[in-house]
């Protein structure tokens, strides 16, 4: 018989929800799946595939591919068990009215935001490059937000949406670790969410930046949050719910 790993309950408003513990750094991450969302940051073709925005900046985009299986395993579990899934997409309106000139000018890319590349206009909503890769593409009922900034709360209304659903904890996956993922996690931290970053569910074009981000997040007693491998996240859930 599967051992029940539910540890206790957390009471929010008038409802009580079972709470689990994940072995994480810098210490145990305690969360109630009913009040938790899985966040997939910018798992877009523009960052992960050749010919997109990431490649236009001179990056080796093949470095991001390993993130997909872990993200897919987590999303499958969340779908099977009714855990909310949030997808973000970094992209702009076709007229670029939501793209600050400073962002547009930044760097020395081969193409700029809005220019036409092999997957359509770079980082523009509705273009093929802005699509989320097929393995983790959203399904009906999941939240999908277009974000003009690196962080998921800036100009998106996401905080209000999560508050309305009673979400208190966020499990982060996505790309790239030190840019949109870390920015989103820090924004979440400032808004009172407890966040955990899935180590093999996030990647950077720069391995040293990923390592530094993980260290920074967990430092000083989880100053930004926690991190753990996907095996620890899924392991904590195994045997607790049907389909785990």
Please state the φ and ψ torsions of residue 184, each to the nearest 5 degrees: -65, -40
Per the CB < 8 A criterion, the answer to whether 114 and 96 are in contact is yes
Shortest Å distance, C-beta 58 to ligand C5J: 12
Among the residue ranges 1-9, 171-179, 208-216, 222-230, the one whose residues contact ligand C5J (CB under 6 A): 171-179
To the nearest 10 degrees (0 to 180), the angle between helices 67-80 and 230-237 is: 20
Q: Which is nearer to ligand C5J, 102 or 140 (CB)?
A: 102
Looking at the DSSP assignment, which residues form a beta bridge with residue 89? 146
**Catalytic hit among 78, 91, 99, 180:** 180
Q: Please state, in angstroms and rounded to a whole number, the distance separating the CA atoms of residues 177 and 198.
A: 10
**Catalytic hit among 89, 147, 150, 210:** 147
The answer to whether residue 42 is catalytic is: yes
With CB under 6 A as the rule, give the number of residues binding ligand C5J.
8
The answer to whether residue 23 is catalytic is: no
- Judged by CB under 6 A, the chain residues 66 through 125 that form the site for ligand C5J are 90
Shortest Å distance, C-beta 80 to ligand C5J: 27
Half-sphere exposure of 113 (CA within 13 A, CB side): 24
Please state the φ and ψ torsions of residue 136, each to the nearest 5 degrees: -130, 25
Among 180, 198, 228, 241, binds ligand C5J (CB under 6 A): 180
Among 179, 197, 218, 228, binds ligand C5J (CB under 6 A): 179
Q: How far is CA 134 from CA 76, 77, 137, 161, 186, in A?
A: 13, 17, 5, 25, 28
Binding site for ligand C5J (CB under 6 A): 42, 47, 90, 150, 175-176, 179-180
Catalytic (active-site) positions = 42, 147, 180
């Amino acid at each position: 018989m599967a051992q029940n790993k539910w540890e206790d309950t957390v009471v929010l408003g008038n409802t009580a929800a079972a709470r689990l513990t994940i072995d994480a750094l810098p210490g145990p991450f305690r969360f109630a799946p009913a009040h938790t969302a899985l966040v997939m940051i910018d798992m877009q073709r523009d960052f992960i595939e050749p010919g997109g925005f990431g490649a236009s900046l001179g990056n080796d985009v093949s470095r991001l591919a390993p993130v997909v299986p872990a993200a897919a395993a987590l999303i499958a579990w969340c779908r099977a068990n009714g855990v909310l899934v949030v997808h973000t997409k970094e992209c702009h309106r076709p007229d670029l009215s939501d793209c600050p000139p400073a962002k547009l000018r930044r760097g020395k890319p081969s193409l700029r935001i809005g220019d036409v590349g092999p997957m359509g206009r770079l980082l523009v909503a509705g273009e093929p490059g802005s699509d989320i890769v097929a393995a983790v593409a959203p399904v009906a009922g999941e939240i999908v937000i277009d974000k003009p900034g690196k962080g998921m709360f800036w100009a998106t209304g996401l905080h209000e949406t999560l508050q309305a659903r009673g979400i208190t904890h966020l499990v982060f996956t996505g790309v790239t670790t030190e840019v949109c993922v870390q920015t989103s996690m820090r924004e979440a931290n400032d808004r009172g969410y407890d966040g955990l970053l899935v180590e093999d569910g996030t990647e950077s074009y720069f391995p040293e930046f990923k390592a530094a981000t993980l260290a920074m997040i967990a430092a000083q007693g989880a100053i930004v949050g926690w991190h753990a491998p996907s095996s620890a996240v899924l392991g904590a859930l195994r045997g607790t719910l049907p389909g785990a």
